[in-house]
Structure 1
Amino acid sequence: MNYFLTYTVYVLILSVLMGISTWKLYKKMGYNPLFAFVPFYNYYIIQKETGHPKWWVAMAYLPIVGPIMMTVFHLFLMKHFGKSTFSQRLLTVILPFIYMAFINYSKDPEIETEDELYLTEDEKSEKKKESFAGSITFAVVFATIVHVFMTQPFGIPTGSMERTLLVGDFLFVNKWSYGFRMPMRPVAIPFLQGTIMDTGEKGNPKDDPKSYVEAVKLPYARIFQFSKPEKNDIVVFNYPQDSVHKAIDRKDPYVKRCVAVAGDIIEIKAGRLFVNGKPETILGDQQKQHKFIATTGSQLDIPALYRQYGFLPVQEIQTETGYLYDFQGLTDQTAKEIKELPQVIEIKEHIWPKDSAALSYKVNAA
């Protein structure tokens, strides 16, 4: 309920801004100026007056897609009043309500009439370019709708799901399997998860430019949740410990197998997973992966190991007598093969001491 209430507030704010900055233009088009303040109907009038499909208005207030569509409608309106130069379009895009207000309150804005019979060759060429740009825009819009509301592609970056999903595998995730989670940051660049670019290893990830507007936010909400995750389901979720992004839907995506559900008791004993007191179920030809520490007399050829085994998470530490290698996820067979390398003195599975953990969680009372 909070989600839709917050969403409605945002819609009303945008509608007020639209009305304040365009009411005089609506009056010029022969409509009651108050219509400029009415959500959806104000954009419907623009589509009607400019000869564009009216059903596009249905996308005006969708999260992520809405800002794109609103920009398109604003461009239509400004062109209708003769504001179609590059600089005028740019101002409409980056300062929509300010620039439209400037035109709205300027002396006598006039509607520009267009007659196909009297268009010059340059004007016809410009019209073709606009048609092409419009086609590209709506291709992006519909691809964004599919990406945000239906299914999203993911690539597998790590080997933690090997023998089921391999590094480099490409999969599509059905966003409706466990109910649709509504977008929490509705103003964002399409197709980007959390950041626009990585500033590099030396930079702080928190300083990377974000692909969404943090200030415009909606609460968590999930709709049409007719089923819930079950044991052994492969699920894609947002990593809770991601400290860079506050919004749940912008945290890094992980893919794992669900080993327990609500009400189950999970334990780690000597590095082994137990669910409700029983060892975890191993499906098919799957193999367990564990953390191993290798002691070597000289440096390992990590690129060669990477080529042989695919993704190989490893940390290298130089010591007085050689090197230590921290392998985060090896099967027993892979560990055995690495042990046979001539540089390796010893390789042992690393198990955290009792009452210690690699991760800790603070639980707050409700």
Structure 2
Amino acid sequence: MGYIVFAIILVLIHFGLWKLFVKAGRHGWESLIPIYREYVIAKITGRPGWWIALLLIPIVNIFIFFGLYLDLVKSFGKYRFWEHAATIFLPFVVLPFWGNDLKTAYLGKSATPEFRKEHPYKKSVAREWADAIVFAVVAATLIRGFLIEAYMIPTGSMEKSLLVGDFLFVSKLNYGPRVPMTPVAFPFAHHTMPLTGGKAYWEGIKLKYNRLPGFQQIERNDVVVFNYPMEADPPFSRPIDKRENYIKRAVGIPGDTLALREAQVYVNGKKGFNPPNGQLDYYVYTDGTGLNPKRLLDMRIEHHLREPYLLFLTDKAYDEVKNWANVTKIIPNIRHRDMAEPGVFPSNPLYAWNIDNFGPIIIPKKGWTVSLDTLTMPLYERVIRVYEGNELESREDGYYLNGNKADSYTFKMDYYWMMGDNRHNSEDARTWGFVPEDHIVGKALFVWLSWDKDGTFLSKIRWNRLFMGIK
């Protein structure tokens, strides 16, 4: 249905442009040829022809594109705020209307000084403010969508690499800006309307996944913001780009073989990266005198105060705590191997895995072909069915893919294995599996503000974390 609506919209826009081109003394068919069409608009409006080269520059091309079309409607005497807003947001309505309106005539090249003298138009104060607000909203939306976006750490899954209350800048450029798949949405709202609740987007128009060129591929151990893949399911059933944003470390990239042994990550048979500020929880025993809660609070150590005490510690904090005079023993809280743990991917009795002893598992790579059998289906069924949009069913005589019997499947996308640095306090890939490439939002760059809700009046801001790069 979405494709039909999109096709109708395109037809209406091009019909309107055809009519306007004819009114401006051009051939109607020129409105049907991309790039050349914009070149003709530049000629109609008096803009220099070299502007068309700017359409090849990402981000800049968006401003140039809309600027040309606003110049075009000005050439037909459309100066008012609502007319410009409609040109941007409802072109499929106003362009056909103006194209067929006998009162709408071509007045000349709107971008020239001569035109402005012949057709002066003074903006009211209200119009000046409205233009400024609209420009700010459009510019901020484009910057947020294609360049850089602010993000706040809401949970402790990345402690202590990233802290609750850290405000980050996330780059869309590093991996390439993702073209919005649900383009009609309320500005600055992600998936829910502020104050009123409800959807902040309209699903009547949906676009296929596309990504502009980036500076780099995702590298192993990058800290990445992505859309939470499980919100493909009810009760949310959200479009990909409207699913909740998560932040984790990409410990595995396409084609890697990943495993955990006693909480240590192994990638392709070698020990993986251990974040210097990552955390693990430990049982801490004392001589009976107990631990000082204020001391733990001052050190910002997550804890459950009972004997034995369960403390979440970095390597540095572990070295300090084990040397406290009243501490007699520290034991890492690591699950036993081969002890199946409920809720661990893929939640199948064939795989007795837990969050500390997991795998090995191969992370799908675009073009990789996997056999379809009882061992691989629990691992890759969701990828094939949900993320890549296939019908997959098991029958008595084997597996059927989109109605045809199949004994293998070739992946269409790259996938990633995302884990939190706070290994025992993180809902991550060990729970819900792979993250598809079309869910990738951007790369975390640096902390621009860090707010400690438990700090005193003078220590609410963690000054030492400001402008800290993320590694």
**TM class by smaller structure:** 0.5 to 0.7
- 1:185 paired with 2:185, answer no
Q: Which amino acid aligns with 1:218?
A: K
Contact map agreement 2:225 2:247 (CA 8 A) in 1: yes
**Matched-pair contact (CA < 8 Å) for 1:40–1:58:** no
Q: State yes or no: 1:241 paired with 2:239.
A: no
- List alignment gaps of at least 5 residues for structure 2: 109-113, 284-293, 305-309, 322-331, 347-377, 382-407, 410-471
AA aligned to 1:154 is Y
Residue 20 (str. 1) matches residue 20 (str. 2): no
Tell me, what secondary structure is at the counterpart of 1:157?
A: coil
2:122 is aligned to 124
Aligned to 1:168: 165
TM-score normalised by structure 1 residue count: 0.60
Amino acid at match of 1:18: I
Instruction: Please name the residue that 1:264 is paired with.
Output: 257
**Alignment partner of 1:357 out of 339, 342, 346:** 342
Contact 2:303-2:312 within 8 A present in 1 as well: no
Indicate if the aligned counterparts of 1:19 and 1:34 stay in contact, CA closer than 8 A.
no
Identity of aligned residues (%): 27
Provide closer, same or farther for how the CA distance between residues 110 and 248 of structure 1 changes in structure 2, counting only shifts above 3 A. Answer: closer
Counterpart of 2:169 in 1: which secondary structure? strand
Deviation at 1:61, TM superposition (A): 10
For structure 1, the residue ranges without an aligned partner over 5 or more in a row are 1-6, 293-303, 315-327, 338-347
Q: Which residue of 1 aligns with 2:266?
A: 275
1:218 Cα deviation from its structure 2 partner: 0.9
Q: 2:199 aligns with which of 208, 216, 224?
A: 208
Task: Decide whether aligned partners of structure 1 residues 107 and 222 sit closer, same or farther in structure 2, where only a CA change above 3 A counts.
Answer: closer
Structure holding more helix per residue: 1
What is the DSSP-based 3-state SS (H/G/I as helix, E as strand, rest coil) of the residue aligned with 1:153? strand
- May I ask how many residue pairs the two structures share in their alignment? 313
Cα deviation, residue 22, structure 1: 3.0
**Residue of structure 2 in register with 1:324 after alignment:** none
**Which of 10, 26, 30 is the equivalent residue of 1:31?**
26
Per the alignment, in what secondary structure is the counterpart of residue 124 of structure 1? coil
CA distance in 2 between partners of 1:30 and 1:66 (Å)? 26
2:117, 2:228 → 1: CA distance? 59
TM-score with structure 2 setting the length: 0.49
Conserved 8 A contact 1:64-1:189:
no
Residues 60 and 26 of structure 1, relative CA distance in 2, 3 Å threshold: same
Q: Distance in 2 between matches of 1:54 and 1:128?
A: 34
Whole-angstrom distance in 2 between the partners of 1:312 and 1:34: 68
**Distance across 2 between alignment mates of 1:251 and 1:141:** 22
Q: CA shift at 1:15, angstroms?
A: 6.0
Is 1:49 aligned to residue 41 of structure 2?
no
Matches within 5 A, 1:1-366: 16-52=11-47, 73-85=68-80, 88-89=83-84, 91-107=86-102, 109-112=104-107, 116=116, 123-126=121-124, 144-175=141-172, 177=174, 179-180=175-176, 182-183=178-179, 185=181, 187-189=183-185, 192=188, 194-197=190-193, 207-210=198-201, 213=203, 215-219=205-209, 223=213, 227-230=217-220, 232-243=221-232, 244=236, 246-261=238-253, 262-267=255-260, 269=262, 272-275=263-266, 282-284=274-276, 286-290=277-281, 330-331=312-313, 354-361=339-346, 362=378, 363-364=380-381, 366=409
- Contact residue 5 and residue 205 of structure 2 kept, 8 A: no
CA displacement 1:60-100 (0-9 Å, x = unmatched): 79999988876655543333222344554555455422222
Code of the aligned partner of 2:168: L
Q: CA deviation at 1:142?
A: 5.5
Give me the whole-angstrom Cα distance separating, in 1, the residues matched to 2:125 and 2:118.
Answer: 13
**1:152–1:173 CA contact under 8 A, matched in 2:** yes
**CA offsets, 1:38-76, max 9 Å, x none?**
223333333443345666666779999988876655543
Deviates further, 104-113 or 47-56: 47-56
2:243 partner amino acid: K
- Root mean square deviation of aligned Cα: 5.3
